[in-house]
Amino acid sequence: MSSSDPKTRPKPVTRPPAPVPPSSWAKRTGFKPKFSGETNASDSGQIALPPRSRENENQPDLEAGRARPVPPVVNGEQPVSEKGPAEKDQSVKKRREADGTNKGSSAAAANGHTVNNGAAPQPQQPTRRPSRNEDVVDVLPQNVDDEGFVGRHSHMKYELRDTPGLVPIGLYGFQHYLSMLGSLILIPLVIVPAMGGTYEDTANVVSTVLFVSGVTTLLHSFFGSRLPLIQGSSFVFLAPALAIINSPEFRGLNGNNFKHIMKELQGAIIIASAFQALLGYSGLMSLFLRLINPVVVAPTVAAVGLSFYSYGFPQVGNCLEIGAVQILLVIIFSLYLRKISVLGHRIFLIYAVPLGLVITWAAAFLLTEAGAYSYKGCDTNIPSSNIVSEHCRKHVSRMKHCRVDTSHAFKSSPWFRFPYPLQWGTPVFHWKMAIVMCVVSIIASVDSVGSYHASSLLVSSRPPTPGVVSRGIGLEGLSSILAGLWGTGTGSTTLTENVHTIAVTKMGSRRAVELGACVLIVLSLVGKVGGFIASIPEVMVAALLCFMWAMLAALGLSNLRYSEAGSSRNIIIVGLSLFFSLSIPAYFQQYGISPNSNLSVPSYFQPYIVTSHGPFRTKYEGVNYIMNTLLSLHMVIAFIVAVILDNTVPGSRQERGVYVWSESEAARREPAVVKDYELPFRVSRIFRWVKWVGL
C-alpha cells in the first residue's frame, strides 16, 4: 500500500515533556521527587499518597514539596491554562512588566526542546544541563486557604509592590492594624499594673507603644526586610519582663515603683537590642540561620504562647460571666462564623478580637449601669485593707473585676500627648538583667526568621536572601533600642500574628502597612485613645490573652508544614522540646517553695520570682539570678532542646524542612527579587560593599 494510507502512515510519537532539571534548592536539600505515583513508605515513616489523577498532576504538592512540571512550548507560546485566554494573557503581561523577563523563552530554554505542528515529529534536542550559574529558579511551597485549595501568592488581593490607590490602601491598612489590636495593646495592660503603675501610667505606656510601633514599622518597611510586617511589643519579651519586675530587690521600694522598675527594664532592653543589632549587621545572623529550621522555630514560638497559662483563665475566673462570654464570642467569630462574608470581607474572622471586645464591653457596661455589681454601702475606691464591713469584703473582688467604671484613665487622660524619649527618666543598667534580655533577643530573632519566611511565600516572588534576613534582624535591634529609649517596657520585634493576618485579609501591600503605621502614629498623639484602651477591664484583657496566646502557640506549630510533619524524627524532637519547655521551668519555679508559704505577689506572678529560691545557689549572686531566670523561661528551654536535637540527629534536609532562602547571586539577576527587597532612596549603594546585609 501507499505510504499515504492513513492506516499505515506512521503516527507521530507523543513524547512526555523533558524532566525539569533539578533546581538549586533541590540540589541543596537532597530532594528526590517521586513521580511514579507508587504507594510506598518513606524512610521517615511517612506514607506516600496514592496516585493522583491526570487533572491534578500539575498541581504542587505541599507536603512533599514537589515542583510543578513546566509544559512544553508550542510555537514559542505557552498553552492556555484553565483560567481562560484573557485572564492568562493579562496575568502573563503583568508578570512580564513587573519582572522584565520573557517566560516563554525561559521555559523553552529550561526544557531544552520545542514542539512543532508538522506531521513528522522533530528529533528531540538533548536536554542541556544548566551550568552552576544558570540554576533553575527555586519552586516555592504554596499556601492553603480555609477551603483547602492550594493557591499562589497571586491570589492575594494586593501583592507586595501593589499600590491600588490612597482610599483602598488606607482602608486595608487600618483593617490590618485593627485585626491585630490584641497583639499591639495587651502587653502594657499586663506589665504596668504589675509594676505598681496607675491607670494614667497605663494610658501613657499604651500611647508610647502605639507611637513606637508605627515608627519602627515604617523603618522596617523601608530599611529592613521590606516585607509588610508590623513591628510591636512582642510576647517574647513579656516573660523576662515579668521576671525582672518581680525580682526580690524591687519588693521593698518606697515611692514610685513604676518609674524605678521601668528604668531598669529600659536599660536591659537597650543593651539586649544593641546585641541583636550587632548580630544582624555583622553578618553573624547569616551563619546562625544554618541552625534555625522549622523544627526549631515551631516549638520555640509555641512555648511562648503556652508559658502564660497561669495568668490566663485564673484571671478570667475573677468575673466568669464576663470573661467566659468574651472567650466564647471570639471562638464563635473566628471558627464558626469565619466563612461568612460581608461585602467580600470575612469580617468575623478578621475582626474576631475587636468585635468580641466591643460586644462584651457593651454587655458589662449595661450590667454595671443596671446595678448588677452595686452593693449597698460598698465603694470600689476604698482600698481592701481599709474595708471594715464583712459584707463589702465579700463582694469587693467582684466589684473590682466586673465593673467597667473602676478605671478613670479615660477621664484623666489629656487630649494631646506626645511620647518622648526618656520620659520615665534615665535608664538604669544592670549586667545580670541585660544578659537575660540578650538571650531573649536571640529567641525574638528566631521568631522573626519564621515570620520572614512564611510572609515572603505569601506576598513576594521569592524568599529573602540571608543578607536581607540579617538586615531585617539588625534593624529590629535598632527598633528595640528606640523602644527602650521611649520606655515601652518590652522590646520591639516582628509580630508573629502578622502572618495569619496577611493570609486572612489577602493584603500583602507594603504601602498599606506603611499608611497604617502613619495612622497609628497620629492616634498615639491623642491621649484619649490611650486612656480608652487603658480602661479595658482586667478580666477582658485576660480573656483576650487566652485567645491570643493560643493563636501564638498554633502559629508556632504551623511552621512544621515546611518539613515532613509525619516524620518520627521530627515528632520526637518537637514533643521533647515542648514537654521539657513546660517541665524544666516548673522544677525551677517550684524549687524551695513550701505549700504553705505566703508570698506577697499574686499567684499568677509566682512563677516569675524564681530568682530568690531557684536551685542555683552559688556565691555569685549575679550568676544565680541569670541561671535561675533563664532556665525558668519556657521558650529558652524549648529553643535549647530543639536546636541541639535538630542539628545533631541525622535527617535529610527535606525531612528537616530546612528553610530555603534565595541565593544572593541568583537574586541579583532577577528584577522581581531586586524590586522586592532592594533598599529605596539609593541607600542600597551604601550597602553594596557590605554583601552580608544586602541582596
96, amino acid identity: R
Cα 106 to Cα 18, 71, 72, 137, 351, distances in angstroms: 14, 12, 11, 11, 43
Instruction: State whether residue 680 is helix, strand or coil.
Output: coil
Q: Which residues are CB-contacts of 455 (< 8 A; sequence separation ≥ 6)?
A: 227, 228, 229, 498, 499, 502, 508
CB contact at 8 A, 457 and 143: yes
- Using the structure block, give the residue that is written with the C-alpha cell 502578622: 498
Q: Which three cell numbers stand for residue 265?
A: 527594664
Instruction: Give bridge partners of residue 494 from the DSSP assignment.
Output: 231
Q: Which three cell numbers stand for residue 141?
A: 511551597
DSSP 8-state assignment for residue 19:
P
Cα 349 to Cα 69, 248, 542, distances in angstroms: 35, 43, 20
When computed from its CA atoms, the radius of gyration of the chain, rounded to whole angstroms, is: 28
The pLDDT score that the predictor gives to residue 379 is 67
Q: Which three cell numbers stand for residue 57?
A: 498532576
- In angstroms, rounded to a whole number, what is the distance separating the alpha carbons of residues 63 and 561? 7
Per DSSP bridges, beta strands 143-144 and 150-151 are antiparallel
Q: Which residues, given as ranges, of the chain have pLDDT below 50?
A: 1-4, 6-7, 14, 19-21, 23-26, 29, 31, 33-70, 72-96, 98-154
The pLDDT score that the predictor gives to residue 671 is 85
The pLDDT score that the predictor gives to residue 234 is 87
**pTM of the complete model:** 0.76
Cβ atoms within 10 A of the Cβ of 112, count?
15
CA 646 to chain CA centroid, Å, is: 21
